[in-house]
Amino acid sequence: MLHPFRPEQLSSDVRPSESDVQSVLLSAEQVQERVAELGAQISRDYEGKDPVLVGVLVGAAVFTADLLRHITVPCSLDFVAISSYGKESRSSGVVRILKDLDESVESRHVVIVEDIVDTGLTLNYLLDIMRHRNVASVRVCAMLDKPSRRLTSVDVDYIGFEVPDEFVVGYGLDFAQRYRNLPYVGILRPEVYGGK
């Protein structure tokens, strides 16, 4: 028999990985409030423009789905999946497209939806790809921004929150494919990823 979902039932035994989180940087409530504000702002800016939101898989899947529900103007949704070349955890900036867009974005107003902008290399590469497809315009909406780590200048038009130079997980962001299901953004214990 199916039971109604009640968030208060999500105890630590359902989310065993929570003990790996050192501290909560942004609560689920803070995140949701900001996503609603971003949605309202994008809706105002794209009135009559029929934008296409391009979510960057996998990290931005959760943010994209929430943001979409706060967009009040007609829009469409598409996804790209990318992966950095090489095995390093740090971004190389050279991106391989694992899954391309389903539809053409020629002459469309594109909003790239990212989880976090770190060095900016991935985003710059994606922006280049979009511009080569003759879009009407392209802007970026990132849930999190780590400006202290930028290696290349990149314009992020809509930013949820600036975060310090810490490895964060939750709200779609993973470490080794885990923690994406946390409804908040937390700082991972360095022991977990072998960090400082």
Output the CA–CA distances (angstroms, integers) from residue 187 to 18, 97, 133, 163, in the order listed: 10, 29, 37, 10
Name residue 10's amino acid.
L
Q: Which is nearer to ligand 5GP, 52 or 173 (CB)?
A: 173
46, 79, 158, 167: residue in contact with ligand 5GP (rule CB under 6 A): 167
Residue number with CB closer to ligand 5GP (46 or 184): 184
CA pair distance 99, 173, nearest whole angstrom: 19
* H runs (alpha helix) in 7-135: 28-45, 61-68, 121-131
Please give the Cα distance from 143 to 62 (Å, whole number).
10
Task: Tell which one of 62, 110, 112, 117 touches ligand 5GP (CB under 6 A).
Answer: 117
User: Is residue 55 near ligand 5GP by the rule CB under 6 A?
Assistant: no
Q: 21 - beta bridge partners?
A: 188
Q: Is 169 in the site for ligand 5GP (CB under 6 A)?
A: yes
Q: Is 118 marked active-site? A: yes
Q: Which stretch binds ligand 5GP (CB under 6 A): 2-10, 38-46, 128-136, 170-178?
A: 170-178
Candidate list 20, 118, 155, 157, residue with the active-site label: 118
Distance CA 42, CA 32 (A): 15
170 binds ligand 5GP (CB under 6 A): no
Contact 84, 118 (CB under 8 A): no
Whole-number minimum distance, CB 192 to ligand 5GP, in Å? 12
Contact positions toward ligand 5GP, by CB under 6 A? 59, 91, 114-123, 167-169, 173-175
Catalytic residues: 118
